[in-house]
Amino acid sequence: MKPLDATPVTAPLDPGQALAAWRRRADDAAGFLIGAAIGAGLVAQSAVRGGADFILALSAGRVRVMGAPSVACMVPIHETNAFVAGFARAEILDRVDVPVLFGASTLDPRTAIPDLLGRIQSWGFHGVANFPTTSLLDPGTGAALARRGLGWPREVALIAEAHRRGLLAVGYVRRIAEATDMAAAGADIICLNFGWTSGGISGEPATLDIAAAAAEARAMFTELRRRRAGILCFVEGGPIATPQDAANVCRVGRADGYIASSTIDRLPLETAVCDAASAFKAIAGLTRKVEAIETEWLGDGRRFGLIGRSPVMAQVVRMIERLADSDLAVLIQGASGTGKELVAQALHRGSCRRERAIVAVNCAAIPHDLLESELFGFERGAFTGATRARIGRFEEANGGTLFLDEIGDLELSLQGKLLRVLESGSFERLGSNQAHHLDTRIVCATNRDLRSMVANGRFREDLFYRLNRLEIRLPSLAERIEDIPLLAQNFLATLATQRQARPKVIDNAAYQILMSHRWPGNVRELRNVIQQAAILSDTDVIGAGDLSRLLDPPDPHAATPNISPGGGTARLAMPTIPVAAPPVAADAGSERDWILDGLRRHRFKRGETARYLGLSRKTLYNKMRRFGLE
């Protein structure tokens, strides 16, 4: 063992460079970092060969190697910091080429934090972690230590001083208040420790299951990133005992990485340790490969829930990517069932507001006399029945995104108020003259022709041009008919997953019917037809007969486009199904006939008709009113 005043070891990596590299990795959607908290040189070297990004030398790791449980590191039976310095300098520090962080104890009242950090820095360590930590103690014991000057505030002071000296600072925490303390102190990494790691012959029983741990991590990390962008968030311990456990918690909790402790150094053989570290590291790589394959097959819009590889869908995806991070209002135009709400959600997820809420309001689904109070809120006594004040959707979406669906159904008076909000960034509740300022992005959607509504005086021209600065037009399914096979297969796979069954397949004759249909209900109608056919089919193959009872006969005079084997827009000759049917023009008359036929088929039961047509109840009611079918 090296004496504590030996010649300093030259650091293999600059802490600042390492931190910058880790942040670049974390900013990448596929980035995933691994830290190994261990207590022996052989284990450290094996972990690095397996892909660990940094090593934490902890007294808990050393006592595990010696055969004692991890909790023994909390017992003041020796000078903990000298203990860590001894084994880490002799076995780890100059034998690995990744940053090595020192697990520093603040529980000894004789230890002056600046002096301790000065020695740690002179020995060549790249950073510091507050471990052992009082955050793992019960609150009463932790409070008693704090009153004696040895508790949590002293650990925060350790991290603050480490940050000031340019060392990598890792803050171990258990509660959200502790996490915010460490973030304010300058911690580069926050590690949410769920308690002593379960599993193995000496593991402690976990107090959380994987789902609860993931939910706790997500709540904490969302708040941390809101307070300080760029902070790295890790998880460790508790119920996490396998690479899959770590992957599940990190995925749901949106963690940047995982610190593997006794899940690594409990394993006795070097090869086993190397394999374990590789498994943790490879889990993200495997996920990346699967996602790349799915994206290649289903199109770049897959991550937004928009399936398709047609040129028009590729253009929609490019528009989403360009407009997502802008704070300007966006207008989404497209027929019912084309996926306007999916686009709104994609714009929100791609923006800097992604950690806040997206609030959706369907302007056609709320009675006109209630819509104003729904949007802007009201004060107590503003109208009869207003017994208490209530915030509106604008306030609810403050800091996030407000999605106004069916904006074409907004009355002219409300259009004027919406324009004032867009122009001034403020509004007033009903019954109040106090202005409320807000920071909300507006995304609107409509299936109407707003230009013709402007010409007819049914939509304000100034609001139209205010909304129309950034526009995304969604194509109808008839404009991207080459995407129908991909959509159909995706719907079948989703249904099979929900029913825990093997996905059914569609034969060529059935595909001909699908490709020849008009699809006035667009993707929503296609999804409903596919799901109904899969449920009603008696075999694993959906044939033409399964679809004939769900769809009108195809138009024999309509063009029958096809897709090329590579998923492009090439058109191949495909025989149409020889069923006589009158040609249907793509006008309001044909849509009226389509709705009337659906109503007759279902004895004018509106709920069943809406499901059959692939429309929402509200959209069906609006169309019935428009065509005089009420």
Q: For the chain, how are helix, strand and coil distributed in percent, rounded to 5?
A: 50, 10, 40
Binned at pLDDT 50, 70 and 90, residue 205 comes out as low
Q: What is the pLDDT of residues 584-615, one digit of tens each?
A: 333 455 677 778 777 877 767 788 888 777 77
Per-residue confidence at 283, pLDDT binned at 50, 70, 90? Answer: low
d(CA 450, CA 453): 5
Q: 364-384 burial by CB neighbour count: b if 16+ within 10 A, else e?
A: bbbeeeebbbbbbbbbeebee
**Mean pLDDT value across the chain:** 79
pLDDT tens-digit map of 483-523: 888 888 889 988 888 888 888 888 888 888 888 888 999 99
Q: What's the pLDDT at 585?
A: 33
* Structural domains of the chain, ranges and CATH numbers in brackets: 17-199+207-292 (3.20.20.70), 302-473 (3.40.50.300), 477-584 (1.10.8.60)
- 126 closest CA partner among 206, 210, 188, 215: 188
* Predicted pLDDT at 306: 82
CB atoms within 10 A of CB 502: 9
Task: Please give the Cα distance from 182 to 233 (Å, whole number).
Answer: 12
| pLDDT tens, position by position, 108-151 | 888 899 999 999 999 999 999 998 888 888 788 778 888 888 88
Which of the two residues, 12 and 566, has the higher pLDDT score? 12
pLDDT digits (tens, 9 = 90+) for 284-321: 554 455 445 444 545 566 677 788 888 888 899 889 88
pLDDT: which is higher, 192 or 624: 192
End-to-end Cα spacing for the chain = 90
Strand 127-129 with 435-437, pairing:
unpaired
Instruction: Tell me what pLDDT residue 241 has.
Output: 74
Per-residue model confidence as pLDDT tens digits over 24-75? 776 665 567 888 887 777 778 878 888 888 999 888 766 665 555 555 556 5
Q: Which range scores top for mean pLDDT: 98-102, 353-357, 551-555, 622-626? A: 98-102
Percent of the chain with pLDDT over 70: 79
Q: Is the pLDDT confidence value at 391 over 70?
A: yes
pLDDT of amino acid 584: 33
